Structure 1
Amino acid sequence: MPVDPKTRQPLPPRSQPGYYAGFSTLSQQEFWDEATRSVVRARVEQVPPIRYFSAEEVRLMQAICDRLLPQDDRDDAHKILVVNYIDDRLYNRRIDGYRFEDMPEDQEAHRLGLQAIEAIAQHMFHSSFIQLEPLEQDQVLQSIHDCKPPAGHDIWQKMSVMHYWLLIMQDVLDAYYAHPYAWDEIGFGGPAYPRGYMRLEGGKPEPWEVHEQRYEWAAPPSSLSGEYSPVGGEGEHKQQTPGQEGTH
């Protein structure tokens, strides 16, 4: 949970974290066409059920997502069910249209990745990932981010460490930032069609948007989220962003 940088006390969860208090993308839905309105509302009102992951995999995947993109600053009613949307993509076999040549299909890659993360947790801390403290969980995931996993070597023979990291991060971020609650958090005004945007320069808000209201916060001490290093670790690997080089 983020903390007050002065008192170091946890900040209470909010229905709407971020710097745009009071803004609601869904309040603008009357200006969207019916197709757009249906798609966006479904992301709130029709959360897909779990159909791909097993119950055990869901628990592990949830614990991983809770560290990759923590939602401690959200109250329970406004948490975005990231795992459900990743599961839905895998169940329906929706893909980007390409795959890195050193990666299996996304469905298999995610299952192998879960097995590898559990193996690393057992190797580093002699416990299941789910049972670890937050900082220990971060250290397990950091080893994959740095492309230096200390265990699961048989799995990493089947897929690239870096490309697995990019896969899971892309899935987590795609699921989160496709949701209207995340749009509220970042002040995104929602679909531009058919109304469009008027103020494209100067950083000025549209008439239906709100001004940024910043507040101070810091990462909790039981977390690595306040630290930055490029994927692959400092000076070890060329950082690579998602793209089609080396794909088929």
Structure 2
Amino acid sequence: MTDGTASRYPGYNVLSKRDGPSWDEVTRQVIDRRLNVPREPRFLDPERFRTLKAVCGRILPQPPERPDVPLAAHVDAKLFDNALDGYRHADLPPLREAWLRGLAALDAEAHAAHGRAFADLAYRQQDTLLRRCEAGELSHPAWDGMPPASFFSQRVLADIVAAYYAHPSAWSEIGYGGPASPRGYVRMGANRRDPWEASEARPGRERTALKENRRVR
């Protein structure tokens, strides 16, 4: 788990709120589950999980100076729980099938283009395949009728980015205080923050925010 330190919010760690008045017990339990997702796959086989980790690494590269958010593990947990979104795009199969087919197709495309699995490609080659996937330019039979562009936008981007920004490490990085339950928020206007929110480390910005806070006390 990261220590919560980020260049724009030095020293800020959202988990310092864990046992205070900001979060209730239900919120603490939800966040604890997110922090303790098993790192080993429970739904995907090792080969597909390895491909997923490589995809996650290109969609959201994480800085080496802090522990990473285990994105592949969180996506695998979603698949293990079959945690559906409550809707499905008509041109995509159900959640699990979409990911299984998409990961297999990316590996098939990698082998066809470079003779190696997706996870074994250079970053530039992986990026090229993902950009072609996003543009709908891939056509290997392994897609089996599933549009690559829809898989990219509705599963790859949606699931990986959602997993990242649902994690407390990402909250600390962007200065987010997490769910305000039961405390709530008071200062809802632009460029105004509550006293318990993180201060952004930019010249003049913190002083402005503090001045706004004092004005309404």
TM class by shorter chain equals 0.7 to 0.9
Kindly state the Cα deviation for residue 33 of structure 1 after the two structures are TM-superposed.
1.0
Partner of 1:139: 128
Q: Is 2:179 aligned against 1:188?
A: no
Kindly state the Cα deviation for residue 118 of structure 1 after the two structures are TM-superposed.
1.2
Partner of 2:149: 162
Distance 1:214 1:107, change over 3 A: farther
More helix by share: 2
Opposite residue 142 of structure 2, the aligned amino acid is I
Helix, strand or coil for the counterpart of 1:197? coil
Deviation string 1:105-128 (CA, Å, 9 cap, x unpaired) is: 111111111111112212322322
- Please show how residues 86-165 of structure 1 align to structure 2 within 5 Å: 86-149=75-138, 151-152=139-140, 154-165=141-152
Distance 1:113 1:90, change over 3 A: same
Q: Is 2:23 aligned against 1:36?
A: no
Distance 1:116 1:16, change over 3 A: farther
Contact 1:147 1:162 in 2 (8 A): yes
For residues 202 and 15 of structure 1, the distance between their equivalents in structure 2, rounded to whole angstroms, comes to 24
* Runs of at least 4 residues off by over 3 Å: 13-18
Contact 2:4 2:169 in 1 (8 A): no
Kindly state the Cα deviation for residue 52 of structure 1 after the two structures are TM-superposed.
0.3
Contact 1:121 1:128 in 2 (8 A): yes
Out of 206-215 and 158-167, give the one that drifted further: 206-215
Deviation string 1:56-86 (CA, Å, 9 cap, x unpaired) is: 11111101110011113442xx211111111
In the comparison of the two structures, how many residue pairs are matched? 198
Distance 1:105 1:74, change over 3 A: farther
Out of 16-25 and 137-146, give the one that drifted further: 16-25
Contact 1:51 1:88 in 2 (8 A): yes
Helix, strand or coil for the counterpart of 1:39? helix
TM-score by length of 2: 0.83
Kindly state the Cα deviation for residue 136 of structure 1 after the two structures are TM-superposed.
1.1
For residues 173 and 120 of structure 1, the distance between their equivalents in structure 2, rounded to whole angstroms, comes to 23
Distance 1:155 1:137, change over 3 A: same
Partner of 2:211: none
TM-score by length of 1: 0.74
Contact 1:124 1:140 in 2 (8 A): no
Partner of 2:63: 72
Structure 2, unpaired ranges of 5+: 204-217
Structure 1, unpaired ranges of 5+: 1-12, 216-248
For residues 142 and 87 of structure 1, the distance between their equivalents in structure 2, rounded to whole angstroms, comes to 23
Q: Is 2:37 aligned against 1:47?
A: yes
